[in-house]
Amino acid sequence: MESEALYPILARRNELGGVFDLWMTYQQDSDVWCPYLEGVDVRSLQAAPGPKDADVSTVAVISSRIDQSRRTTLLESLLREMPIDSYGQLFCNRPGGMKAGRAGKLSVISRYKFTLAFENSICRDYVTEKFFDPLIAGCVPVYLGAPNVDEFAPGDNCYIDASRFENPRALAAFLVALAKDEPAYARYLEWKSKPLRPRFLKNLETASVKPLERLADRLRARQASETDTNAVPNSGSAR
């Protein structure tokens, strides 16, 4: 489930094809795909956003110091440009303000307009709960991570891609202006009242069966195929 930037063996599938029979990873072309979609469903995604009553517009919940994506530098730069409530261990300025667990996180970030959704690594397909939690909570993720994140988006115009901005100052200026422009901000939440993308619904359908169950199904099918191939053909009537 960790990125190939941290575990380079995941990038050596062609080389190691003769070693492992099956690959079960976050990568979409794995034999058994393991997306970060646990706890994500249509109803939670389409729930109406709650009031944005926090004192500032933007929240961060980052604790790990794993930083292949250079998110630490980006967060530090943004903190110099705009007010951000940081509940994680990284640059924490709201100690004790969030209950443990996912429910505690969702409850807190739902009060903000933006959540800084920064992955620890930038790799194709590596889209984690950092992207999906703000969408469930009814705020807009400001995303740093997978270059193909749009393939995982449940709707159009539902996130802000931090990589598209020239520098942290430009990103901060955009967020500050957008937070003050209620009609423009509301357009980032319109997707919640529309049908979700067919591709995303297909992903949810795949993820509705636990990865180990899908692995077991794949192994049973493989075993059945090998049994049929190795079966001795009928040599005719007995003599």
Tell me the one-letter amino acid at 237: S
The domains located in the chain, with CATH, are 1-34 (no CATH), 42-195 (3.40.50.11660)
pTM, whole model, 2 decimals? 0.91
Tens of pLDDT, residues 63-90:
998 999 999 999 999 999 999 999 999 8
In the prediction, which pLDDT does 131 show? Answer: 98
Count of other CB atoms within 10 angstroms of residue 123? 22
Count of other CB atoms within 10 angstroms of residue 105? 21
Q: How far is it, in rounded angstroms, from Cα 113 to Cα 175?
A: 9
Tens of pLDDT, residues 95-149:
988 998 999 999 999 999 999 999 999 999 999 999 999 999 999 999 999 999 9
Q: Nearest Cα to 131, choosing from 112, 113, 150?
A: 150
Please state the rounded mean pLDDT for residues 195-218. 96
Q: Read off the pLDDT band of 232 (50, 70, 90).
A: low
Please state the rounded mean pLDDT for residues 194-215. 96
Average pLDDT value over all residues in the chain: 93
Q: How far is it, in rounded angstroms, from Cα 212 to Cα 120?
A: 25
Residue 215 has pLDDT above 60, yes or no: yes
- Give the percent of the chain with pLDDT over 90: 83
